[in-house]
Amino acid sequence: MPLDISPACPERPDFVAEVSGVDLSRPIAPSVAAEIEAGMDRFAVLVFRDQRLDDDRQLEFSRHFGPLEQATGDIAQGDQRRLRMELNDISNLDKDNAILARDDRRRLFALGNLLWHSDSSFKATPAKYSLLSARIIPDRGGNTEFADMRAAWDTLDADTQALVRDMVCDHSQVFSRAVLGMTDFTAEERRKWAPVPQRLVRRHAGSGRLSLFLSSHAGTIHGWPVPEALALLRDLTEHATQRERVHAHEWRANDLVMWDNRATMHRARRYPADQVRDMRRTTVADSAPTLQQAA
């Protein structure tokens, strides 16, 4: 069966597509990877159903799209980790596959995913693609929502476009967790997650489209007083995440969803705390810090 990439959401025909005719549990040809990459340039979120992946297969597929990030943004490091460093652990499990206690610091930290964000915007070179594989899902809740940040830019009024066009924000995981009242970071964590600058408006290398590069990790705008900066970032985020620019993905086990962090934000939705949700993310690094990319 030939590869097919078709819009998944009639209201947003250039945003989310479903990919069929490919079995990711087997090696794919470079030409197929190139078709998928072209699909990512046209859309920004691709959904692959019924893909029974193990970690090795997920890694092998992901590497077609560039060098992978290490999961240095996860709070569990060293012998606390359940997964190897090329996989972000997007679960509520400890390394023995037991559900984390309600007040476990690792679980609380992971609740940062409930806030709108772009993956690794807190790293000097942020993420290009994220590939999230659903191994075990809860029986309700736990959707992932995606916001189209190209549409967010396109629909901004001209005055606001001019205001934000050259803005630079600082991003840190410490900023996003502060939004949730989590402030108990060690000196080492603060050093590791020191703020990094990112352009607020960026041009997508594959499509040429501009987008708003927002994220809950953004905590300042260079040259602006902090309260005014946070109020503007909140206002832009509200604009970007209006229902008409958002798609909710309802997970089935063995879905793989791939999104472009340069053109989208996403967030997790709540699910029952006593149910297992085992998702694993591979992350393709972007080419350079956003300030070094063409504006």
State the residues that interact with ligand OGA by CB under 6 A: 90, 113, 119, 130, 132, 144, 266, 268, 279, 281
Give the residue at shortest CB distance from Mn ion.
119
Q: Which is nearer to ligand OGA, 32 or 180 (CB)?
A: 180
119 binds Mn ion (CB under 5 A): yes
Least Å from the CB of residue 259 to ligand OGA: 9
Among the residue ranges 3-11, 112-120, 251-259, 285-293, the one whose residues contact Mn ion (CB under 5 A): 112-120
Q: Which is nearer to Mn ion, 88 or 207 (CB)?
A: 88
Considering CB distances under 5 to 8 angstroms, the limit depending on partner class, which of ligand OGA, Mn ion, none binds residue 172?
Answer: none
Considering CB distances under 5 to 8 angstroms, the limit depending on partner class, which of Mn ion, ligand OGA, none binds residue 279?
Answer: ligand OGA
Question: Angle 73-79-83 (CA atoms, 0-180°, nearest 5)?
Answer: 60
Contact 259, 128 (CB under 8 A): no
Considering CB distances under 5 to 8 angstroms, the limit depending on partner class, which of ligand OGA, Mn ion, none binds residue 202?
Answer: none
Least Å from the CB of residue 245 to Mn ion: 18
Q: Which tokens hold the place of 18?
A: 């479903």
Q: Which is nearer to Mn ion, 35 or 119 (CB)?
A: 119
Query: What single letter denotes the amino acid at residue 45?
Result: V
Separation of first and last alpha carbons in the chain: 40
Can you say whether the dihedral through the CA atoms of 101, 109, 133, 26 is positive or negative? negative
> Locate tokens 């205001």: which residue?
163
Least Å from the CB of residue 266 to ligand OGA: 6
Least Å from the CB of residue 168 to Mn ion: 22
Contact 149, 14 (CB under 8 A): no
SS3 30: helix
Least Å from the CB of residue 138 to ligand OGA: 11
Query: What single letter denotes the amino acid at residue 204?
Result: H
Q: Which is nearer to ligand OGA, 217 or 221 (CB)?
A: 217
Least Å from the CB of residue 271 to ligand OGA: 9
Q: Which is nearer to Mn ion, 25 or 72 (CB)?
A: 72
What is the C-alpha to C-alpha distance for residues 171 and 291, in angstroms, rounded to an integer?
Answer: 13
Q: Which tokens hold the place of 223?
A: 């040259």
Contact 199, 290 (CB under 8 A): yes
| Strands across the sheet containing 196-199 | 196-199, 168-171, 218-221
Which residues of this chain interact with Mn ion, rule CB under 5 A?
119
